[in-house]
Structure 1
Amino acid sequence: MSRKWLIKNGTFVVLEPGQSVIKGYMLIEDDVIKYVGESCPEGEEETEAFDGSGLLFSPGLINTHGHAAMSLLRGYGDDMELQTWLQEKMWPMEAKFTSNDVYWGTSLSVLEMLKGGTTTFLDMYDHMDQVAKVVQESGMRAVLMRGAIGLCPEDVQQMKLEEAVQFAKDWHGQADGRITTMMSPHSPYTCPPAFIEKFVQAAHDLDLPLHTHMSETAAEVQQNINDYGTRPAIHLEKLGFFSRPSIVAHGVHLTDEEIEILARNKVAVSHNPGSNLKLASGVARVMDLQKAGVVVSLGTDGAASNNNLDMFEEVRLAALIHKGVSGDPTAVPADEALKMGTIYGAQSVYLQNTGRLAAGMKADFIALDTDQAHFVPYTDFISHMVYSAGPKDVKHVWVNGAQVVKNGSCITMDEERIRREAQACFEGLLSR
């Protein structure tokens, strides 16, 4: 049965040229926004209404790179260099992960993200059927893929490729369209060229985008040069990776030539400032990427390297660190940082129908409580959202037109059980 309802007296973040915020009304019918404007839409005066007084409505935040189940390893290995962290802490523990661990680790992450105003996330991991199951149950939107490291015998590589293809076939378009899929070799330094080429071919066969880690650390780039005689972006272009719609995570260490390659091939970059800072991987050349026309979005990476999934923090870091590094206070202004977390996020993961509050968009949006000291005075809501707000300000969340967070509580998930099961999973990993 169709449902139509109206938000009145709200303040809406529309991020349109010349008009970032409007006060007025938003009409939702089923899973779609039908109208956003200053006056009540004609003929809707008697429509079921929700009073938006004291609330700031924004597009839901979009997290374009992560590994949700890794929340089970939050705090397990801190203050370490990336390769040491991976080889000594992460990979040995991850090798013990069962499908049950992935289910509860993902549940923990989805709970954190939803309560913190993230409505869409990208996830690259193993046991992905469990991740999809959590997404289906929670009401969230997600872009999912079976990530595959190719440092293994050919028969194991083939098994991973077949799993990735089957997962994409089984889940693309599922959960009322909230789940879409991609193909994802882990990275050029963990996947032999022939393995990457097989993923590229599979992406062509399935008509899906591609995702991978690229140029996260200087050491990784040097390894690519040592192994293949060239830098990662040039290497991936030669392998045909960019012949598909693509998004690369990190892109910290890029030359001018590589930026031009990404721009020419319309490759999106998921900027992960928090994770990159914590692992001392460096600071991506975001302004140069944007100047070249590359779409740059934001991701948290996994909670093991961040150590949270707070997209407000990523938006704020994106607005702050590039000012500090460049010495230019106009670098990545507040509205641009917020677009990186919303509009550009949707573009990066090839979703045309979310990331904005506008007629025709999916009803994925959040409401922040502005009746708080750090929102006053009501001078500039975009500035306040970027520089002052945080996940605890999120009062309500809707995804695909359905409310999933109400008055700060997730109404689609059992928070108490998730916390208990996640702790038990971590203790189980330690004992194995």
Structure 2
Amino acid sequence: MPEGPELHLGSLYVNKMCAGVVFTGPVRKSEVSKSPDVPFTCEAYRITASSRGKEVKLRLTPMKSDDSKQRSKAGQADQAMDVVFRFGMSGYFRFTSEDELPKHSHLRFYSKETPCRVLSFVDTRRFGSWQANGTWQPDRGPCIMFEYESFRKNVVTHLSDRAFDRPICEVLLNQKYFNGIGNYLRAEILFRLNIPPFVPARSVLEGLESEDLCENEKPLKTEIKDEKASDRVKTVKEETGDLLRLCHTVPLEVVNQGGKGYDPKKEDYSEFKAWLQCYYVDGMKSLRDHNGRTMWFNGDPGPMAPKDLKSPKAKKRAKKTEDHDYTDKKKGAKGGSKSTPKKKVVKQETKTAKKEIEKSEEMVSPQKKKRPAARGRKTSSAEPAAVVLVAGPEKRSGRVTRQSSK
């Protein structure tokens, strides 16, 4: 999922690719998208971008001209419009020729040139969204990267909030206080400080000040040799510093990696994977938190860990072997499969009963067969068995049937 660094890199990409480019016409939305239309049409406008935490804002600015009155009459925009994007699980921007439009481009801005180029918001899974005439969401806190002082003060002054009763790994995803932190960032930050993910958040943050007096100092690092199951020995750099500072510095490390040439078309994540120390790294543990999000960590998870302690990998294996589709069709299929062996057993028991009846008929003399049993006389152990077996739905011989009826 794109987090604060990726959204900021996306804004840098837009500013780089759209610098000096003039756009024209209406903003077009794909037919399959359920997001709202962007009611903006202009003969000539420019696009600039900015980011804040997990949001990106595109500003559409009409170019000044002398025919502003005619433009307003024709329905052309004469005021700038802000469109705020949230990337969801897979959103990003692409700038291509019109002939090379990505398959899942759901919002498009067309340039005023020949051949035409298009800035697209691409979202394969369609979890992203945009808002025309939008503003930064008021329930999101200051940006962890570019509003560090405000971000730090917002956390420290609200530690009495009930939100901080939860484990620190879950609080780090609360965008009201940690705007820009996502799944991989929380794992990397807690791992570097050797903080168990499921400890109370307030206990970790209580001693921190609203002002970072050591902001300009680099975090101290100590090298630890961590022996994994493999023969290789990995050197882990454990940092000493407070949690809020690393929420600011670790995302900036990701930004610096992609700052030299962010291009989502290349999709080269080799440098990013080499940078990761915990998230999806071999030898690390994983556990779903109380919200169902996967937490990667090392060592003891902490006292507030979920009781079941089920890793996401184990759940995936269970889904492959078990069928949890309880539709009527499935129920019928399952019921049929279970009843089949029972029918076979009944048939087998019926055949056995027939053989026992035939043997009993051979042993009984013809005179005894004709003579009716006296009332109140105790029958032998073999006779009731024959009577009980004959009482079933199967047809027996005429002599046995008469005997059982009497």
Q: Which protein, 1 or 2, shows the higher relative CO under an 8 Å CA cutoff with sep ≥ 6?
A: 1
Hey, which of these two has a bigger chunk of helix by percent?
A: 1
Question: TM-score range with shorter-chain normalisation?
Answer: under 0.3
TM-score if structure 1 supplies the norm length?
0.22
TM-score if structure 2 supplies the norm length?
0.24
